[in-house]
Structure 1
Amino acid sequence: MTPAMRVCAALLALACGACGSLSTLQRDQAARIAAEARSTVVECDAADACARPSPLRELGVRAWAQSTPQQPRHYALLLDYGQDALVSRLDLIRGARRTIDLQTYIFDEDDAGHLVLDELLAAVRRGVRVRLLVDQLSALRQVDTLAALASAHVNFELRVYNPVLSRARISYPMYAWAAACCWRRLNQRMHGKLLLVDGIVGITGGRNYQDDYYDWNPEYNFRDRDVLVSGPASAEMAASFEAFWNAPLSVPVERLDDVGRHLLREGAPPLPAWPYEDPQRVAAMSRAADDAVLVRQGLADAALAVGEVVFIADPPQKHRRDREAAANGVQASPLLHGLIESAQQEVLLQTPYLVLSKPAQAMFERMHERTSPPRVIVSTNSLAATDSFITYALSYKYKRRYLRDFGFEIHEFKPFPEDAPIDLEATGAVEISWNADGSVNIGEPRAPADAAAPRDPGGGVGGSGSGRGSGGGDDGRREPPLSREYAALRYAGIGVQQRVPLKRAGVRFGLHAKSLVIDGRIGVVGTHNFDPRGDDYNTESAVIIDDPAFARALAESIRRDIAPANAWVIARRDKPPVFSGLEYSLAKVSEHLPVFDLWPMRYATSYEFQPGPACPLPLSPFDPDFRDCHEPVGDFPEVNLGFRTLLTRIFTAFGAGLAPIL
């Protein structure tokens, strides 16, 4: 679409919005239609709402019973595997006796989203009160689904956070107009994720409600992490949810223009049929969640008993129009920055998008200038693994600063990790079977239903981003607009949010976990990407646990992600044989320019560990023997760039101005 066409589309959206808004009377009428249609039937009259015994909910009961105001007791469970994360959610929902509060950034209408919705509605019919709060830009994609949910049951409430243009869903022209009229509000998103059951046990972390977060996408999945926490900290979670639920920006879905108009025009629709793309996989997940012995032995028994747990969250006041009042609502970023700066020995930081705000850069520079600076190890995405091409381009620009000025040891996640906590079989892209001796057979890949992907005899579906992840296909299963953290850039018109093509086929994985370990004693799991967007625009949350055993478990998980089988290490490239000092100076000057950073030589590149008798373990990139055990593999290993080479250079040269919203 040309710039002129975009302007016309924006003007058209403005005209349509001006004449299409509902009046207050119409909104009230739509709300009445939804309210009158809601079922009041409750299938269970037992005090516990006929809840199924839940080993994970029992952790909450036990923690509260063992706690005193002076000595709180908590249980914490890291959820690394996507399948474990989904089973845990189903177990808690089925075990709920009074309330379920669910807050999320993305809630998609795919298998994972539909499965959780089915479970929530089943809980509603048992007599459990369910409240679902979803950010507008990544809410359920169909207006008729939203209208049906608004009319489903008296025990079910659905609200949409920060509905720009007073709609649940916005089209491309509407987005263009919103970007022109209300850029700051458009970018102010509710990025927190929380599932809280009966006010006693909650799950938070990086995962949304979409196939990609549970290893259910045949092309691309996130290696993510959640933490389940039971005990008194759940009261802080409940208070945070209440603040968002009652915030002025949280609007009952039936009072929004598009949903309200649907109710006025069509009446309250029945819940649509939701055929699963892979019903056998859904059924297997449901059976696993119903196996109390499996859940107890595989999950509940692995929970760690810890003492004090702190849940921190930006309140919705961060999104107030008054800039000074909004600044007072920023809580997560200062607390996390202070925690990082308190480190004495080591900071272990994991973020999918290594773009630091100016305050964070100043903080790391101060830390590196100490007489004895802490070691800072960073786990992040490679260009081959990331789902945000433009964000990687900015992190690529500042590699010299990260390594030389901040002392970062950067490990970039591979798109085909060999030993990560992922479930390749669950993706549905390959056939896997086991032999009697325990060895594995990997069969031919199955192409996604909506993509014609190339096949490789030894791999999986082609990872070019041509299928569901890039909006391909016309069967109604295309990925919804604005479904990533950097949604405000999704309509740039040059595919900056698409994944780059790779040199070989396979089911690709990208890092999405946001975690932190300080000095081997404090562990943090949350939603903050430690980036400018989290500092200034998104509301974020995190769990902080001051416990050596938990910190050790979290550190082991992150170190697994940065192991040579799963990541490349970034280090300075070999110096040129002549004029190395001049080359370095020119590159440094060019890097500091907000535009026209056109110097072609970068300071750093990617290295692969080469084990051997003299190299039993990988070395730090600052070790003098580093190059004896590592060989360079290029700036963008595994990537088949082509035109992307040019785009990378463009955004390296001109993209610094976008850093505040990345």
Structure 2
Amino acid sequence: MERQTTSGFLPQWLKLALIFCLGFVLYACSSLPERMPVKPSYYISDTGDTRLGELFEARKAAHQGLTGYHLLIDPIDAIAARLMLIEKAQKSLDLQYYIWHNDKVGALALEGLLRAADRGVKVRLLLDDNNTGDLDASLLALDQHPNVEVRLFNPFVYRKWRMLNYLLDFSRNNHRMHNKTFIADSQVALIGGRNISNQYFDAGESFQFSDVDVMMVGQIVPEVAKSFDDYWNYPMAYPAAQMIKASDHQLTLNQLRFQLAHYKATSTAQNYLDLTREQADFDNWLSGNEKMQWVPAHLVQDSPEKINKDAKRSEHLTFQLQNLVGKPQKQLDIISAYFVPADTGTESLISMKRQGVRVRVLTNSYAANDVGVVHAFYAKRRKELLENGIELYEFLPQSRNVKGRKSKKNHISALADDGADKKGLNIGDSSDASLHAKMMTFDNQQAFIGSFNFDPRSANLNTEIGVILDSPTLATQVSKDLDNSIMNIAYRVRLNERGKIIWEEKTPTGIKVYTHEPNISPIKRFGLKVLSYLPLDGYM
């Protein structure tokens, strides 16, 4: 009897062998190559003769050892500050971001950086590579400029099929550089939660993030600049030209310059730029017409070694934060877009409450959260937190259609008294924003602002940066704003007399009570419940 054969098909054992070999080759190729030799570079410290240096020289001399700060809460103020700093810079611009999108804001910022480089400013652009997929051609072209260097932090090997990087090297690629810093002429530094994308600056037709940055001068700026240098010179910061194949992209520097200039001239871009030119806050702050608060400030940051899990405990932001603020004695307010306390955080917050500390948390509701899966791992802790006296508020779901900005301040309104003529913590409106801010206040004495969310991902996986301002004025103002107006923008979550979770919403006719989580279908609610049982808290 002859052996049966199947014409046109490979034997099963050979198929398996080929699949194994292919998988092995793909895995081997997913490892990062050795970084090409690069010359270390450092921030330019001799910038006292620049326009920005001269603007702040007298004020810094009068406040030795202190930091002057200004909150950037309104999104148009925030982008106006960045674009004007790019325009005013004369020697250096150092920018470090987690996300830089190929959209209106991203294009206008790139156009500004390119013009700055043309007039002799040294530009260093450091981007985490998780969100640069549609920018490869532009980054490669920009990097051709003699005054520009572009580096990608923890880069992806596979540029087109980017998910392959996670499938083949999940452990490395799951650690990301989440820092956001902006430094102009080593004189002015910005830190906060905003990335470079339409969603953070009121520039898109989809929902907008409500966020907070802090702009600083004085003592802390060299520390922020040194932090940038640490990441810039770290072995995981690869030159863009090494990771992006020139053969895959035909865009030249001159073509990029033409495209960006052409886009800037469009009515869409000009209408948006007109809004930024209307903002007086930044100019008033620069000129000294607006009184600047000068306070002791402390930079807290993760070492870039955290990406490789090699950072010492003292090199973690969480360790530094705890050492600087200690244990709150009276009050802790947490504003965190993604709030996943997990076991350790839950125990810590409950312990504080038992010691008499008021603990209040503002985070996103499910409908306001742009990463719905994260909500499952917050919701599983919700009842335990409430049972132990933690106050929870969830940002109201927002409209997904932006109709346009009618005036300077009414689009992103305040956590402030209704009708009050004062500056408060204007972090949200109940019409078109989703919470993205990361802020904490301690005992009405200190305030933290940065990129750090209250979740395991920020604590253990990603690198983060932030600043602690020893400002009782700011911390007290935040607390008062939350006391007076948090119900204008958030559900109050609490337990009813039967121990069931309810959501209370302030409406024109009174308080509306929900006995089931608002704006989520029973099927989704069930799915999130099932998901919450999986041991995934540490990845959130």
Residues 207 and 432 of structure 2 are in contact (CA less than 8 Å); yes or no, is this contact kept in structure 1? yes
Which residue is equivalent to 1:563?
Answer: 486
Q: Deviation of residue 303 (structure 1)?
A: 5.3
1:394-417 CA-to-partner distances (Å, cap 9, x unmatched) read 111111121123x21111111239
Q: Deviation of residue 343 (structure 1)?
A: 1.1
The size of the alignment, in residue pairs, is 495
Structure 2: how far apart are the matches of 1:192 and 1:278? 31
Which residue is equivalent to 1:35?
Answer: none
Which residue is equivalent to 2:338?
Answer: 353
Residues 303 and 311 of structure 2 are in contact (CA less than 8 Å); yes or no, is this contact kept in structure 1? no
Distance 1:14 1:574, change over 3 A: farther
> How is 1:370-381 mapped onto 2 (pairs within 5 angstroms)?
370=355, 373-381=356-364
Percent of aligned pairs sharing the same letter: 26
Structure 2: how far apart are the matches of 1:363 and 1:335? 17
Q: Deviation of residue 319 (structure 1)?
A: 1.9
Which residue is equivalent to 2:440?
Answer: 516
Cα RMSD of the aligned pairs, angstroms, is 3.7
Which residue is equivalent to 1:608?
Answer: 505
> How is 1:455-466 mapped onto 2 (pairs within 5 angstroms)?
none
1:179 maps to a residue whose letter is: Y
| TM-score, structure 2 as length reference | 0.81
Structure 1: how far apart are the matches of 2:153 and 2:201? 24
**Structure 2 segments unaligned to the other structure (5+ residues):** 1-17, 39-45, 412-429
Q: Does residue 222 in structure 1 map to residue 119 in structure 2?
A: no
Task: Give the secondary-structure state (helix, strand or coil) at the position aligned to 1:649.
Answer: helix
Q: Deviation of residue 291 (structure 1)?
A: 6.9
**Structure 1 segments unaligned to the other structure (5+ residues):** 1-7, 32-46, 418-423, 441-505, 576-583, 585-602, 613-628
Q: Deviation of residue 59 (structure 1)?
A: 5.9
1:44-98 CA-to-partner distances (Å, cap 9, x unmatched) read xxx99998x66xx766434433243xxx232111111111100111121111121
> How is 1:364-513 mapped onto 2 (pairs within 5 angstroms)?
364-370=349-355, 373-405=356-388, 407-416=389-398, 429-430=403-404, 432=406, 508-513=432-437
Residues 142 and 253 of structure 2 are in contact (CA less than 8 Å); yes or no, is this contact kept in structure 1? no
Alignment partner of 1:66 out of 57, 62, 66: 62
1:204 maps to a residue whose letter is: I
Which residue is equivalent to 1:182?
Answer: 169
1:11-31 CA-to-partner distances (Å, cap 9, x unmatched) read 978756767999889x79xx9
Q: Does residue 659 in structure 1 map to residue 537 in structure 2?
A: yes
Which residue is equivalent to 1:342?
Answer: 327
Q: Deviation of residue 268 (structure 1)?
A: 7.1
1:92-111 CA-to-partner distances (Å, cap 9, x unmatched) read 11111211100010001100
Which residue is equivalent to 1:248?
Answer: 235
| TM-score, structure 1 as length reference | 0.67
Q: Does residue 645 in structure 1 map to residue 525 in structure 2?
A: yes
Task: Give the secondary-structure state (helix, strand or coil) at the position aligned to 2:359.
Answer: strand
Distance 1:305 1:49, change over 3 A: closer
Structure 2: how far apart are the matches of 1:9 and 1:297? 64
Q: Deviation of residue 179 (structure 1)?
A: 3.0
1:252 maps to a residue whose letter is: P
Structure 2: how far apart are the matches of 1:432 and 1:293? 17
> How is 1:42-441 mapped onto 2 (pairs within 5 angstroms)?
60-68=56-64, 72-139=65-132, 141-151=134-144, 153-165=145-157, 169-171=159-161, 174-175=162-163, 177-256=164-243, 258-262=244-248, 270-271=255-256, 273-274=259-260, 276=263, 279-280=266-267, 282-287=269-274, 295-297=282-284, 301-302=289-290, 304-320=292-308, 323=309, 325-328=310-313, 330-338=315-323, 342-370=327-355, 373-405=356-388, 407-416=389-398, 429-430=403-404, 432=406
Structure 1: how far apart are the matches of 2:19 and 2:104? 33
Distance 1:431 1:116, change over 3 A: closer
Distance 1:604 1:278, change over 3 A: farther
Task: Give the secondary-structure state (helix, strand or coil) at the position aligned to 2:486.
Answer: coil
Task: Give the secondary-structure state (helix, strand or coil) at the position aligned to 2:100.
Answer: coil
2:456 maps to a residue whose letter is: P
1:393 maps to a residue whose letter is: A
Q: Deviation of residue 651 (structure 1)?
A: 1.8
Structure 2: how far apart are the matches of 1:131 and 1:212? 24
Distance 1:551 1:507, change over 3 A: closer
Distance 1:332 1:294, change over 3 A: closer
Structure 2: how far apart are the matches of 1:184 and 1:236? 30
1:226 maps to a residue whose letter is: D
